[in-house]
Amino acid sequence: MRLLANKRSISLAKTFFQKHRKIFLKAIKYSCIVLSWVFHLCTINLLFADDYLILRRPVAAYLFDTYESALSAAEKKALPKNLPLKRIETDGTLGDQITRVDKFSYQGQTWSVLKENTGYSGLTEKQDYLFIKNVKTLNDTVIWDEAAPLSITEPVENGKSIANVTQGETLIRYFKQGNKIYISYFKDLIRFGYTEATHLCQLTPIEKKAGVGPVLFSNDILTLLDNRLQKANDTYARLFAQFNQITGQDKSAPIWQRSQEGGGLHCELKGIRGNRFEESNRYLLRDIEGLFLGKPVRITAADHLIQIMPRVSE
Protein backbone atom coordinates (compact mmCIF):
# COMPACT_ATOMS: atom_id res chain seq x y z
CA MET A 1 0.00 0.00 0.00
CA ARG A 2 2.79 2.43 0.94
CA LEU A 3 4.56 1.71 -2.39
CA LEU A 4 1.41 2.42 -4.37
CA ALA A 5 0.88 5.68 -2.45
CA ASN A 6 4.45 6.81 -3.21
CA LYS A 7 4.04 6.01 -6.92
CA ARG A 8 0.79 7.93 -7.00
CA SER A 9 2.44 10.97 -5.28
CA ILE A 10 5.29 10.94 -7.82
CA SER A 11 2.80 10.71 -10.68
CA LEU A 12 0.77 13.63 -9.33
CA ALA A 13 3.96 15.70 -8.89
CA LYS A 14 5.00 15.01 -12.51
CA THR A 15 1.55 15.95 -13.77
CA PHE A 16 1.57 19.17 -11.70
CA PHE A 17 5.07 20.12 -12.94
CA GLN A 18 4.18 19.47 -16.61
CA LYS A 19 1.03 21.54 -16.25
CA HIS A 20 2.86 24.47 -14.65
CA ARG A 21 6.21 23.91 -16.38
CA LYS A 22 6.40 27.37 -17.95
CA ILE A 23 5.69 29.07 -14.65
CA PHE A 24 8.45 27.07 -12.90
CA LEU A 25 10.97 27.82 -15.65
CA LYS A 26 10.17 31.55 -15.52
CA ALA A 27 10.52 31.55 -11.74
CA ILE A 28 13.92 29.84 -11.99
CA LYS A 29 15.00 32.27 -14.72
CA TYR A 30 14.03 35.38 -12.74
CA SER A 31 15.58 33.97 -9.56
CA CYS A 32 18.88 33.53 -11.42
CA ILE A 33 18.67 37.12 -12.69
CA VAL A 34 18.00 38.47 -9.18
CA LEU A 35 20.84 36.43 -7.71
CA SER A 36 23.15 37.65 -10.49
CA TRP A 37 22.28 41.29 -9.73
CA VAL A 38 22.80 40.74 -6.01
CA PHE A 39 26.20 39.19 -6.72
CA HIS A 40 27.21 42.10 -8.98
CA LEU A 41 26.04 44.69 -6.47
CA CYS A 42 28.03 43.01 -3.71
CA THR A 43 31.07 42.87 -5.99
CA ILE A 44 30.74 46.57 -6.87
CA ASN A 45 30.41 47.49 -3.18
CA LEU A 46 33.58 45.55 -2.39
CA LEU A 47 35.45 47.22 -5.25
CA PHE A 48 34.63 50.65 -3.83
CA ALA A 49 35.15 49.67 -0.19
CA ASP A 50 38.25 50.56 1.81
CA ASP A 51 40.22 49.06 4.68
CA TYR A 52 41.34 51.09 7.69
CA LEU A 53 43.96 50.55 10.36
CA ILE A 54 42.96 52.20 13.64
CA LEU A 55 46.14 52.83 15.63
CA ARG A 56 44.97 52.75 19.23
CA ARG A 57 48.53 53.21 20.53
CA PRO A 58 50.72 54.80 17.82
CA VAL A 59 53.69 54.86 20.21
CA ALA A 60 53.88 51.04 20.00
CA ALA A 61 54.05 50.94 16.17
CA TYR A 62 57.04 51.04 13.85
CA LEU A 63 56.01 53.98 11.66
CA PHE A 64 57.63 55.61 8.63
CA ASP A 65 56.62 59.01 7.25
CA THR A 66 56.17 60.17 3.64
CA TYR A 67 59.97 60.37 3.28
CA GLU A 68 60.32 56.81 4.67
CA SER A 69 62.08 58.11 7.78
CA ALA A 70 61.28 56.23 10.97
CA LEU A 71 59.33 58.26 13.49
CA SER A 72 61.07 58.72 16.83
CA ALA A 73 59.46 57.71 20.13
CA ALA A 74 58.75 61.39 20.90
CA GLU A 75 57.08 61.90 17.50
CA LYS A 76 54.90 58.81 17.94
CA LYS A 77 53.98 59.86 21.46
CA ALA A 78 52.69 63.17 20.05
CA LEU A 79 50.24 61.34 17.75
CA PRO A 80 46.63 61.05 18.96
CA LYS A 81 45.09 57.74 20.00
CA ASN A 82 42.82 55.83 17.61
CA LEU A 83 44.34 57.39 14.48
CA PRO A 84 42.53 56.14 11.30
CA LEU A 85 44.86 55.20 8.43
CA LYS A 86 43.36 54.14 5.08
CA ARG A 87 45.25 51.26 3.46
CA ILE A 88 46.52 52.01 -0.05
CA GLU A 89 49.04 49.18 -0.51
CA THR A 90 49.31 45.69 0.96
CA ASP A 91 52.57 43.78 1.38
CA GLY A 92 54.71 46.56 -0.05
CA THR A 93 58.30 47.50 0.74
CA LEU A 94 60.23 50.64 1.50
CA GLY A 95 62.75 52.04 -0.98
CA ASP A 96 65.32 49.44 0.10
CA GLN A 97 63.04 46.77 -1.45
CA ILE A 98 63.55 44.68 1.71
CA THR A 99 61.62 46.21 4.59
CA ARG A 100 58.06 44.82 4.48
CA VAL A 101 55.30 47.33 5.14
CA ASP A 102 51.67 48.10 4.53
CA LYS A 103 51.16 51.63 3.23
CA PHE A 104 48.39 53.94 4.37
CA SER A 105 47.17 57.45 3.67
CA TYR A 106 46.07 60.10 6.10
CA GLN A 107 45.25 63.68 5.06
CA GLY A 108 47.15 63.38 1.80
CA GLN A 109 50.29 61.91 3.39
CA THR A 110 51.65 58.38 3.05
CA TRP A 111 52.45 56.42 6.19
CA SER A 112 54.10 53.00 6.28
CA VAL A 113 53.68 50.45 9.09
CA LEU A 114 56.26 47.69 9.57
CA LYS A 115 54.86 44.19 9.05
CA GLU A 116 55.66 40.81 10.49
CA ASN A 117 54.28 37.37 9.67
CA THR A 118 51.26 37.56 11.97
CA GLY A 119 50.46 41.27 11.84
CA TYR A 120 52.32 44.48 12.55
CA SER A 121 55.62 44.66 14.41
CA GLY A 122 55.28 45.73 18.02
CA LEU A 123 51.47 45.76 17.90
CA THR A 124 48.91 43.49 19.52
CA GLU A 125 45.50 43.37 17.84
CA LYS A 126 42.63 44.98 19.77
CA GLN A 127 45.00 46.32 22.40
CA ASP A 128 47.19 48.39 20.05
CA TYR A 129 45.26 48.41 16.79
CA LEU A 130 42.03 47.49 15.05
CA PHE A 131 41.66 46.52 11.41
CA ILE A 132 38.39 47.56 9.77
CA LYS A 133 37.61 45.99 6.37
CA ASN A 134 35.26 46.87 3.51
CA VAL A 135 33.84 50.17 4.70
CA LYS A 136 32.63 53.21 2.79
CA THR A 137 34.99 56.20 2.92
CA LEU A 138 33.25 59.53 3.58
CA ASN A 139 36.17 61.89 4.23
CA ASP A 140 34.32 65.18 4.58
CA THR A 141 33.88 67.99 7.09
CA VAL A 142 30.49 68.56 8.69
CA ILE A 143 28.74 70.68 11.29
CA TRP A 144 26.58 69.31 14.10
CA ASP A 145 23.27 71.17 13.78
CA GLU A 146 21.22 69.79 16.66
CA ALA A 147 20.76 71.32 20.11
CA ALA A 148 21.27 67.96 21.83
CA PRO A 149 24.96 66.99 22.17
CA LEU A 150 26.41 64.30 19.89
CA SER A 151 28.24 61.54 21.76
CA ILE A 152 31.51 60.08 20.47
CA THR A 153 32.53 56.65 21.79
CA GLU A 154 35.81 54.75 21.78
CA PRO A 155 36.27 52.35 18.82
CA VAL A 156 36.00 49.20 20.92
CA GLU A 157 33.13 46.94 21.91
CA ASN A 158 30.93 48.76 24.43
CA GLY A 159 33.24 51.76 24.13
CA LYS A 160 32.75 54.55 26.63
CA SER A 161 31.87 58.10 25.65
CA ILE A 162 35.00 60.21 25.13
CA ALA A 163 33.46 63.51 23.97
CA ASN A 164 30.21 65.37 23.40
CA VAL A 165 29.96 67.63 20.36
CA THR A 166 27.77 70.70 20.87
CA GLN A 167 25.70 72.55 18.30
CA GLY A 168 27.67 74.46 15.67
CA GLU A 169 30.94 72.54 16.17
CA THR A 170 32.76 70.85 13.29
CA LEU A 171 33.74 67.22 12.76
CA ILE A 172 35.60 65.19 10.17
CA ARG A 173 33.89 61.99 8.97
CA TYR A 174 36.28 59.24 7.84
CA PHE A 175 34.20 56.16 7.05
CA LYS A 176 30.85 54.45 7.61
CA GLN A 177 30.82 50.99 9.16
CA GLY A 178 27.41 49.39 9.53
CA ASN A 179 25.30 51.79 11.55
CA LYS A 180 28.30 53.76 12.82
CA ILE A 181 30.44 56.59 11.47
CA TYR A 182 34.09 57.10 12.43
CA ILE A 183 34.77 60.76 13.13
CA SER A 184 37.26 63.13 14.71
CA TYR A 185 36.56 66.12 16.88
CA PHE A 186 39.02 68.84 17.87
CA LYS A 187 38.62 71.14 20.82
CA ASP A 188 41.31 71.17 23.49
CA LEU A 189 42.80 68.06 21.81
CA ILE A 190 41.85 65.77 18.95
CA ARG A 191 39.65 62.75 19.63
CA PHE A 192 38.70 59.90 17.27
CA GLY A 193 35.74 57.59 17.73
CA TYR A 194 32.35 56.37 16.57
CA THR A 195 28.93 57.97 16.47
CA GLU A 196 25.67 56.40 15.35
CA ALA A 197 24.90 56.75 11.64
CA THR A 198 21.28 57.58 12.51
CA HIS A 199 22.61 61.07 13.21
CA LEU A 200 23.74 61.34 9.58
CA CYS A 201 20.73 63.43 8.52
CA GLN A 202 21.55 65.97 11.23
CA LEU A 203 25.09 66.60 10.00
CA THR A 204 25.36 69.51 7.58
CA PRO A 205 28.32 69.44 5.13
CA ILE A 206 30.21 72.70 5.46
CA GLU A 207 30.41 73.30 1.71
CA LYS A 208 26.58 73.30 1.58
CA LYS A 209 26.08 75.69 4.50
CA ALA A 210 26.61 79.24 3.22
CA GLY A 211 28.85 81.53 5.23
CA VAL A 212 30.04 78.83 7.62
CA GLY A 213 33.46 77.28 7.78
CA PRO A 214 35.58 75.34 10.26
CA VAL A 215 37.77 77.25 12.68
CA LEU A 216 41.01 75.84 11.34
CA PHE A 217 43.38 78.52 12.55
CA SER A 218 42.33 79.20 16.13
CA ASN A 219 44.43 81.43 18.38
CA ASP A 220 45.72 78.35 20.20
CA ILE A 221 46.90 76.72 16.96
CA LEU A 222 48.52 79.96 15.74
CA THR A 223 50.31 80.38 19.07
CA LEU A 224 51.69 76.83 18.86
CA LEU A 225 52.78 77.42 15.26
CA ASP A 226 54.47 80.73 16.10
CA ASN A 227 56.26 79.14 19.04
CA ARG A 228 57.61 76.39 16.79
CA LEU A 229 58.78 78.90 14.18
CA GLN A 230 60.42 80.99 16.91
CA LYS A 231 62.22 77.91 18.19
CA ALA A 232 63.69 77.39 14.70
CA ASN A 233 64.62 81.09 14.48
CA ASP A 234 66.37 80.94 17.87
CA THR A 235 68.39 77.93 16.69
CA TYR A 236 69.47 79.73 13.50
CA ALA A 237 70.37 82.88 15.45
CA ARG A 238 72.54 80.87 17.85
CA LEU A 239 74.30 79.02 15.02
CA PHE A 240 75.03 82.21 13.07
CA ALA A 241 76.26 83.99 16.21
CA GLN A 242 78.78 81.19 16.77
CA PHE A 243 79.78 81.23 13.09
CA ASN A 244 80.31 85.02 13.11
CA GLN A 245 82.35 84.83 16.30
CA ILE A 246 84.65 82.19 14.84
CA THR A 247 85.04 83.76 11.36
CA GLY A 248 84.81 87.44 12.23
CA GLN A 249 82.02 87.87 9.67
CA ASP A 250 78.68 89.54 10.19
CA LYS A 251 76.17 87.29 8.47
CA SER A 252 72.48 87.61 9.32
CA ALA A 253 70.58 84.53 10.40
CA PRO A 254 67.57 83.48 8.29
CA ILE A 255 64.18 83.77 9.92
CA TRP A 256 60.81 82.08 9.49
CA GLN A 257 57.92 84.47 8.97
CA ARG A 258 54.23 83.60 9.01
CA SER A 259 51.56 85.32 6.94
CA GLN A 260 47.90 84.61 6.21
CA GLU A 261 47.03 84.65 2.50
CA GLY A 262 44.21 83.28 0.38
CA GLY A 263 42.44 81.71 3.35
CA GLY A 264 45.54 79.77 4.38
CA LEU A 265 48.87 80.19 6.16
CA HIS A 266 52.26 80.76 4.54
CA CYS A 267 55.46 80.11 6.49
CA GLU A 268 58.51 81.37 4.60
CA LEU A 269 62.19 81.20 5.47
CA LYS A 270 63.66 84.61 4.63
CA GLY A 271 67.28 85.52 4.09
CA ILE A 272 68.70 82.27 2.74
CA ARG A 273 69.56 80.80 -0.66
CA GLY A 274 70.02 77.27 -1.86
CA ASN A 275 69.06 74.18 0.11
CA ARG A 276 70.93 74.89 3.35
CA PHE A 277 69.11 73.73 6.49
CA GLU A 278 67.14 71.24 4.38
CA GLU A 279 67.31 68.61 7.14
CA SER A 280 66.20 70.95 9.92
CA ASN A 281 63.39 72.22 7.68
CA ARG A 282 62.18 68.64 7.29
CA TYR A 283 61.88 68.33 11.08
CA LEU A 284 60.02 71.64 11.19
CA LEU A 285 57.61 70.45 8.50
CA ARG A 286 56.95 67.24 10.41
CA ASP A 287 56.24 69.19 13.61
CA ILE A 288 53.82 71.48 11.75
CA GLU A 289 52.04 68.44 10.29
CA GLY A 290 51.67 67.18 13.86
CA LEU A 291 50.13 70.48 14.99
CA PHE A 292 47.42 70.23 12.33
CA LEU A 293 46.82 66.49 12.65
CA GLY A 294 43.09 65.86 12.34
CA LYS A 295 42.37 69.27 10.82
CA PRO A 296 40.94 69.46 7.27
CA VAL A 297 44.02 71.12 5.79
CA ARG A 298 46.58 70.30 3.12
CA ILE A 299 50.21 71.06 3.97
CA THR A 300 52.74 71.44 1.15
CA ALA A 301 56.40 72.42 1.15
CA ALA A 302 58.63 73.70 -1.65
CA ASP A 303 62.03 75.37 -1.33
CA HIS A 304 61.69 77.58 1.76
CA LEU A 305 57.91 77.91 1.80
CA ILE A 306 55.40 75.85 3.81
CA GLN A 307 51.74 76.36 2.92
CA ILE A 308 48.81 75.29 5.08
CA MET A 309 45.57 75.50 3.11
CA PRO A 310 41.98 74.53 4.01
CA ARG A 311 40.62 71.36 2.48
CA VAL A 312 37.01 70.20 2.65
CA SER A 313 37.51 66.76 1.10
CA GLU A 314 39.97 64.76 -0.96
* Cα end-to-end distance, the chain, whole Å: 76
For 150-193, the DSSP string reads EEEE-SSTTPPEEEEEPTT-EEEEEEEETTEEEEEEESSSEEEE
User: Which are the contacts of 11, defined by CB distance < 8 A and separation ≥ 6?
Assistant: none
Interval 173-209: pLDDT, tens: 899 998 899 998 876 677 899 998 666 556 666 554 4
Interval 35-91: pLDDT, tens: 555 444 444 444 558 999 999 999 999 999 888 888 888 778 878 889 999 999 999
Distance between CA 64 and CA 99 in Å, rounded?
11
Domain 135-214, classified CATH 3.60.21.10, yes or no: no
Return residue ranges of the chain for CATH 2.30.30.40: 135-214
**Other C-beta atoms lying within 10 Å of the C-beta of residue 137:** 17
Distance between CA 264 and CA 306 in Å, rounded?
11
Interval 121-173: pLDDT, tens: 989 888 899 999 999 998 887 888 888 888 899 988 778 888 888 887 878 88
